[in-house]
Structure 1
């Protein structure tokens, strides 16, 4: 696996080795010692996936303290444009975002530390996204910011979003409970 640092501290693109032959592909998505050696979470509490069609935008989501979590995301079918926004007060990149294409073909993953909002836009006919998270889903701490409030150049101005995502507050109105120093200590 290759771990590539993004300009947002702690957020990493991970490119696994993909083995391919006449039968298909084999991809190792996780190895505890390798993740540990790069300062990444190795204590995953839940894993789930979503299936979405072209034009769907999910996000920008996170969980509030004390149920915040680190997240590992990757695409097992299709292609998405994945985005994260730094919400950690005191971070040199607070309010900034990165965007990265994740695809089943490439097999690349994104490691998202606590204190970052996450979302993605489906560019293929459909896409299946896998998520590993370091805390259990806590509905009362489920939160997000509006998809169109962080300066992200999404491919569509009117994506397909959920009613819930349409009601999220804009970044400018969000009072972040995340601290860069506190989040960095936990990595």
Structure 2
């Protein structure tokens, strides 16, 4: 029998990497409007419960970097409502039934500020990592929200000050991206 990994407890004021994928690797976003709807539901069900530092929506999985603003029960309920409402709409749209996401969303508590910075970069570089797409122009990650001055739910100022300034924020992403390019060239 496989032992079940105990789910990390979500604690208020701590940072987490939240991610999940479609059950059996199934597609959870068929198109851009699915992704926009997911983001809309995310905003609706987690408002005042979490702060978002980064996100990326890929076709069969997503990543979020968050900090809890509320107690665990409220936050897990918010996520549960988000996933249920999204799955319902998605299933109806493509005429499918049953679970869409793997049973429990994965959560990893971030140990320190350095890990937080590395994770924000990792999440933004996901399109590069999976599909060799240019992460800077990928529409469904929070990277572009950092370059823009449009209103956003992302914790823009706090994150940028974590990196010192916007210039260094971009520099760190490019550095990591160049490193990935080198690794891929060797394969």
Normalising by structure 2, we get a TM-score of 0.27
Structure with the greater alpha carbon radius of gyration: 2
Specify which structure has the higher proportion of strand.
1
Normalising by structure 1, we get a TM-score of 0.27
